[in-house]
Amino acid sequence: MSDVAVIGAGYVGLTTSVCLAHLGHRVLCADIDEERVARLSKGEVPILEDGLPELLSEGLSSRRLTFVVGARQAAARANFVFLCVPTPQADDGSADLSSVEAVAREIAPVLRRGTVVINKSTMPVGSTRLVQRILGESGASIEEVRVASNPEFLREGTSVQDFLNPNRVVIGCDDPSVAVRVSELYRSLDAPILVTDPASAEMIKYASNAFLATKISFVNAIANLCEAVDADVREVALGMGYDQRIGFEFLHPGPGYGGSCFPKDTAALRYTARRAGYAFSLLDGVVEVNRRQHERMVEKLTALVGGELRGRTLALWGLTFKANTDDLRDSPALVIARRLLDAGAHVRAYDPAAGERAGAIVPGLEIVSDPYEVCIGAAALSVLTEWDEFRWLDFDRVRDALEAPVVLDTRNLLDPGALRRLGFTYEGVGRS
């Protein structure tokens, strides 16, 4: 059992905290957000994540999990300090490491001899050395405090499951004995552990996310081509996916990727490539296809309502960047909603998890709390997030509420045949 500090109680930090406590470690999780710490200390989970409430409650009642305000207090007692703070996109596309740097400066003076600081936030190549340097400059002994990269690959919506059943654990460190100590934290997990140099570990995270983004843009491009030649992208993706070299995952066309990771991580990797003098035109293409895919959804909707959005009422189902999360960061649905509003439409939306917050983020977006009510008098309905509950709604009611029975299904979630039999005009992505 180790004493672990986790700095940042967001999607990654909170998941890391509850899971490490579940694995038997003593975990002190710190955040700067006092309200978040107070709520977590009472067992209230501030984010939607399957399995988190149960493990939070388990950690609190076993007293292996505690929450504090401020990184310093947590780091002072730890053998391992996980940095799980945000690394958002800066204006030039690079990863903004200011939170990481601030935490490193804050904790440096209190770190105990032998402590390992672990970069779990997604940070570009060179960050392990950067954190080591800042710790040294801010009062930690370089010989006594070591830094390792341990990127996180969890998916929002299944973060607990992913953390406890990882495909792999990557540890980047120059010192093999430090890597072994970090790997022991994960001893009870059944996963391959890959120990690399720090730069390779940092690159593994960006390369993985860029590859997944590439798969999505690729299948979106194929979907667009399928529309032009009358093929069905679902059949195409199925036929491709049986090839084990390709696989089925991430071959679902849609409105383009979004979320808190792919957009910023692809931007940061492009920035790294520019700085390194490498023309990463493949990744440039992936990002451009994605940007165009958002636009394409707006164009489809415009065509479906007769070419003019101004003054029209439009209904949206789903605002989060994917289903089973309440995360709205860089959600394609919000990009699309803003475009529709800019074009003069009246936009009304329903989301099962994040409607209210979305309304606060997008001025002019009307939020309603019922999937039928959102449809009343709308010229078309657009499905923007693949929430499972949308499949099972009463489409007679939906049709009767809409001004015209028109559906744009950007996630290919619904059954076109069934909807057409009910009198809907249905349009999906990459299929007729």
Ligand X SMILES: NC(=O)c1ccc[n+]([C@@H]2O[C@H](COP(=O)([O-])OP(=O)(O)OC[C@H]3O[C@@H](n4cnc5c(N)ncnc54)[C@H](O)[C@@H]3O)[C@@H](O)[C@H]2O)c1
Please list every residue from 261 through 300 that binds ligand X, using CB under 6 A.
Answer: 261
The answer to whether the beta carbons of residues 199 and 125 sit under 8 Å apart is: yes
**Cα separation, 13 vs 30, whole angstroms:** 9
Nearer to ligand X, 103 or 336 (CB): 103
Does position 86 interact with ligand X (CB under 6 A)? The reply is yes
Does position 81 interact with ligand X (CB under 6 A)? The reply is no
The region of 97-105, 275-283, 347-355, 393-401 touching ligand X under the rule CB under 6 A is: 97-105
Does position 13 interact with ligand X (CB under 6 A)? The reply is yes
Smallest distance, ligand X to C-beta of residue 165, A: 15
**Cα separation, 263 vs 240, whole angstroms:** 25
Smallest distance, ligand X to C-beta of residue 202, A: 12
Smallest distance, ligand X to C-beta of residue 88, A: 8
Q: Which residues lie below 8 Å from residue 275, measured CB to CB, with a gap of 6+?
A: none
Does position 8 interact with ligand X (CB under 6 A)? The reply is yes
Does position 121 interact with ligand X (CB under 6 A)? The reply is yes
Task: Indicate which residue of 173, 226, 261, 375 is catalytic.
Answer: 261
Binding mask 23-62 for ligand X (x = CB under 6 A): -------xxxx--x--------------------------
Find the helix packing angle between 198-229 and 281-304, rounded to 10°: 40
Smallest distance, ligand X to C-beta of residue 187, A: 22
Please list every residue from 338 through 377 that binds ligand X, using CB under 6 A.
Answer: none
Residue selected from 4, 5, 6, 12 as contacting ligand X according to rule CB under 6 A: 12
The answer to whether the beta carbons of residues 49 and 11 sit under 8 Å apart is: yes
The answer to whether the beta carbons of residues 426 and 416 sit under 8 Å apart is: yes
Does position 10 interact with ligand X (CB under 6 A)? The reply is yes
Q: How many other C-beta atoms can be found within 10 angstroms of the C-beta atom of residue 380?
A: 26
The region of 98-106, 280-288, 293-301, 354-362 touching ligand X under the rule CB under 6 A is: 98-106
Does position 156 interact with ligand X (CB under 6 A)? The reply is yes
> Which amino acid, one-letter code, is at 315?
A
Nearer to ligand X, 203 or 261 (CB): 261
Go through 79-99 and write b for each residue having 16 or more CB atoms within 10 A of its CB, e for each that does not. bbbbbbbbbebeeebbbbbeb
- Measuring CA to CA, how many Å separate 333 from each of 163, 170, 295, 347, 365? 27, 33, 11, 12, 12
In the complex, residue closest to ligand X by CB: 10
User: DSSP states of 42-87 as a string?
Assistant: TT--SS--TTHHHHHHHHHHHT-EEEEESHHHHHTT-SEEEE----
Does position 99 interact with ligand X (CB under 6 A)? The reply is yes
Residue 198 exposure: Cα atoms within 13 Å on the Cβ side = 23
Does position 87 interact with ligand X (CB under 6 A)? The reply is yes
Q: Looking up tokens 């394409």, which residue turns up?
A: 296
Q: Looking up tokens 């996916």, which residue turns up?
A: 241
Smallest distance, ligand X to C-beta of residue 331, A: 13
Smallest distance, ligand X to C-beta of residue 7, A: 5
The answer to whether the beta carbons of residues 297 and 225 sit under 8 Å apart is: no
The region of 19-27, 79-87, 109-117, 274-282 touching ligand X under the rule CB under 6 A is: 79-87
Q: Which residues lie below 8 Å from residue 296, measured CB to CB, with a gap of 6+?
A: 224
Whether 19 is catalytic: no
Smallest distance, ligand X to C-beta of residue 19, A: 13
Q: Which residues are catalytic?
A: 261
Enumerate binding residues for ligand X (CB under 6 A): 7-13, 30-33, 36, 71, 84-87, 99, 102-103, 121-122, 152, 154, 156, 260-261
